Amino acid sequence: MLEVQRLTKRFGGLVANDAIDLTVGEREIVGLIGPNGAGKTTFFNCITGQLKLDQGRVGFEGRDLTNRAPEVIARAGIARTFQLVRVFREMSVVDNVVVGAFLRERTRQGARARAMQALKATGLSASASTDAGALPVALQKRIELARAVAMEPRLIVLDETLSGLTEAETREAVDVLRGLRVALLVVEHVMEVIMPLSDRVVVLDAGKRIAEGPPAAIARDPRVIEAYLGV
């Protein structure tokens, strides 16, 4: 579904992403890992239209989405969440999700129905009428996920959705992600989460892709160990 070829992004003399290739298949869960400053969020921002590529190509289901606007990319079927929680704190949970549902629906009634379906899929139905700002961070992150689900994506790009959660919250969130039945591209620092969740793992270091493969193989890869531990 997603095919990224030679994606390159520079900030002045800094090469944040250096000719990175990456693919995601239908309903595949791909983990993207790397130490701080590896270029993971920049890579996500280039895929989803927040930043312009300097070189390379982003293709999705046969369509060229290179340097297209975020709303065009969203309509094509790619949704995302952000590393910093972005909810409308004084709006109800369901109204937060309605905002995403309007991507596919023209009426308030249709958008609300779609939003309620997304809340059910993400385990938030019981909190539908609660103000988003009254919920703990773990559930605010779930609101972002529900808003993405309401956009009816084929691929969801998740930027540290599971970071900062307790062990129980993490287990629950992983179960939710597995039940979505869409392709996922996931950035996460918690290796105990990303390894069992992912079908395949891609590793970045200093803007370069240094490894790719099944989670068990990546965990043993000397290049990956060196990137994380410096040994």
Residue of 76, 68, 70, 116 whose CA lies nearest to 92: 116
In this structure, the answer to whether residues 223 and 158 fall within a common structural domain is yes
Report residue 65's pLDDT band, with 50, 70 and 90 as the boundaries. very high
Is residue 6 situated within a structural domain? yes
In this structure, the answer to whether residues 23 and 70 fall within a common structural domain is yes
In this structure, the answer to whether residues 157 and 225 fall within a common structural domain is yes
pLDDT of the residue at 98: 98
In this structure, the answer to whether residues 136 and 175 fall within a common structural domain is no
β 208-213/200-205 pair status? antiparallel
**Can you name the residues that pair with 80 across neighbouring β-strands?**
157
Is residue 83 situated within a structural domain? no
pTM: 0.92
At 120, list the tokens: 């059910």
| Domain assignment of residue 163, given as a range | 2-77+153-229
Is residue 193 situated within a structural domain? yes
Which amino acid is it at 105?
E
Higher pLDDT, 46 or 196: 46
Higher pLDDT, 188 or 14: 14
Residue 149 has pLDDT above 70, yes or no: yes
Distance CA 69, CA 45 (A): 11
Residue 31 has pLDDT above 70, yes or no: yes
Tell me the pLDDT of the chain averaged across its residues: 93
Distance CA 61, CA 69 (A): 17
In this structure, the answer to whether residues 122 and 58 fall within a common structural domain is no
The count of structural domains within the chain is 2
pLDDT of the residue at 190: 75
E-assigned strand segments in the chain: 2-11, 14-24, 29-33, 55-60, 63-64, 78-80, 155-159, 183-187, 200-205, 208-213
pLDDT of the residue at 230: 62
In this structure, the answer to whether residues 73 and 176 fall within a common structural domain is yes
Report residue 228's pLDDT band, with 50, 70 and 90 as the boundaries. confident
Higher pLDDT, 170 or 60: 60
In this structure, the answer to whether residues 18 and 132 fall within a common structural domain is no
In this structure, the answer to whether residues 121 and 171 fall within a common structural domain is no
